[in-house]
Amino acid sequence: MTDQDPHTEHTRKDDKHKASMQKQKAKVDARIAEAKTERGIALLLTGNGKGKSSSAFGMVMRALGYGQRVGVVQFIKGAQLSGEELYLRDHCPQVHFYQMGTGFTWNTQDRSGDISAAEQTWAEAEALLKNPDVALVVLDELTYMIAYQYLDEQRILQAIQNRPSAQSVVVTGRGGGSALQDIMDTVSDVKDVKHAFRAGIKARQGVDY
């Protein structure tokens, strides 16, 4: 019994790989051909894992790359300056950036004050969701406003559903309820497998905030 010729084995693997990729390309091309609807999408980034806001800001950079107008409204965050806020305020004047500014609710411990701040912040978000010139709206940590009942859920759902047809919206935060998920086009659940903070490692500037 002789060993198989290395050149023949290499060619066989190449042919097998090519056939597999051709089949995969045919499936992808078919799905692309089936997608005929041209409109903005509603995307929910939820789950217990890290990276939801980071993903949303990645889409902000994409939109800016195409010269699109962007609106960003951050709920919960704001007591400490974030890297994304510093960059967008200094380098991207075309981005409408608004933060609730109260910080985390477990720090404020002031329900009435948080509700008042949430309503003021939602007014900024609602205006963006009515503006057809804004291509992308990011509502960062909005889900907590629903979970804590700081804002009326139906008002939020209606504003997202009634936005301009070409506008896309990204909502981030844990939970948010089934009603919010039901109206979104895409829902991604970011899972928590391992986190440095639980090992006693401090949050890192430029990575965590």
Q: How far apart (Å, rounded) are the C-alpha atoms in residues 52 and 9?
A: 45
d(CA 82, CA 60): 15
pLDDT for residue 8: 82
Give the residue, 3 or 111, on which the prediction is more confident: 111
Query: What three-state secondary structure class fits 193?
Result: coil
Q: Is the pLDDT of residue 105 over 60?
A: no
**What local confidence, expressed as pLDDT, does residue 3 receive?**
60
Give the model's pLDDT for residue 1: 46
Is domain 39-199 in CATH 3.50.50.60, yes or no?
no
Give the model's pLDDT for residue 126: 98
Task: Report whether pLDDT(35) > 70.
Answer: no
Q: What pLDDT was estimated at residue 19?
A: 81
> What does the pLDDT average to over 26-46?
83
Q: What is the DSSP string of 81-104?
A: --HHHHHHHHH-TTEEEEE--S--
What global pTM score does this model have? 0.82
CB atoms within 10 A of CB 179: 12
Greatest Cα-to-Cα distance within the chain, rounded to the nearest angstrom: 83
Domain boundaries, the chain: 1-36, 39-199
* Mean predicted lDDT score pLDDT of the chain: 88
**Residue 33 pLDDT greater than 80, yes or no:** no
Tell me phi and psi for residue 87, to 5 degrees: -70, -50
